Amino acid sequence: MRTLLDWLAESESAEQSPIAQKLAERGLTIAERRRLSDLLALATSVEAPAVTDDTTADRDHALLDLYNWYADWSTTARILIKRKDHRCSLGIGEKRAKRAAAGVAA
């Protein structure tokens, strides 16, 4: 996006250029491009939060607990729920693919 905005700024020295006229017709005026440029500068200036080892260890432990709970739940659900449509709605079953009609090549 930055490259496009820079290229447009360099290629349009006057408001009457064909590029500027076409962009203005489409709603991308010089003021709008400046606004987009400012938003892009703001978005790229924000620093990513630092992640500490304690945070990742806690997250990994929570994800492992969640996985273990899901594995237990899905095993129990597969045993207790027999209808395939109910299993599919719970996300633990798969629909069968429709068979091709006889005599019709797939």
Q: Tell me the pLDDT tens digit for each residue of 8-57.
A: 777 766 556 777 778 878 888 888 888 988 999 998 888 877 767 777 88
Count of domains forming the chain: 2
d(CA 59, CA 61): 5
DSSP symbols for 63-81:
HHHHHHHHHHHHHHHHHH-
d(CA 45, CA 23): 27
Shared-domain flag, residues 58 and 86: yes
Shared-domain flag, residues 37 and 65: no
CB 45, CB 2: distance < 8 Å: no
Domain contains 38: yes
Domain contains 16: yes
Domain contains 75: yes
Q: Which domain holds residue 86?
A: 53-90
Q: Tell me the pLDDT tens digit for each residue of 66-80.
A: 999 999 999 998 899
Indicate whether this model's pTM tops 0.75: no
Domain contains 101: no
CB 37, CB 5: distance < 8 Å: yes
Shared-domain flag, residues 40 and 58: no
Domain contains 86: yes
